[in-house]
Amino acid sequence: MPVEFENIVVDDFSTFQPGRVAPHVKIEQLLTQIGGGGSDGTTFKKRILKAAGWSYPSIHGYAKNPQQAVAAFNCVRDVINGLDDKAEMAAKLEAAFEREREEA
């Protein structure tokens, strides 16, 4: 079944709604899975988020710079929405990452 993440908004980083997992948390979890889980998955997630525009270290919370976090997560969301195969997601994310690296 294809993934469909809702649009990430600034309030997602600073509010809590019981029974709702914020879409950026779901995207982080998926990126970690796509990257192979464990430390490999975490490294993959960090690399993709950096390529998507998040320029802060992992210790820096998203709520400190929510506009940049929104832009980065929505960039990732735009790449993976509608896909259902993790290998295809990884390939598309890697392609987006390569483009970002080439443009830098």
pLDDT in tens, 58-72: 888 999 999 999 999
What mean pLDDT value characterizes the chain?
90
* Whole-number Å distance between alpha carbons of 16 and 76: 22
Q: Evaluate whether 33 touches 41 at the Cβ level (below 8 Å).
A: yes
pTM for the model stands at 0.88
Distance (Å, rounded) from C-alpha 17 to C-alpha 34?
27
Domain boundaries, the chain: 28-103
Give the tens place of pLDDT for each residue, 82-98: 999 999 999 998 888 67
7: which DSSP letter?
A: P
Confidence check: pLDDT of 102 > 60: no
Question: Residue 12, Cβ neighbours under 10 Å: how many?
Answer: 22
Helix and strand element counts for the chain (H, E): 4, 0
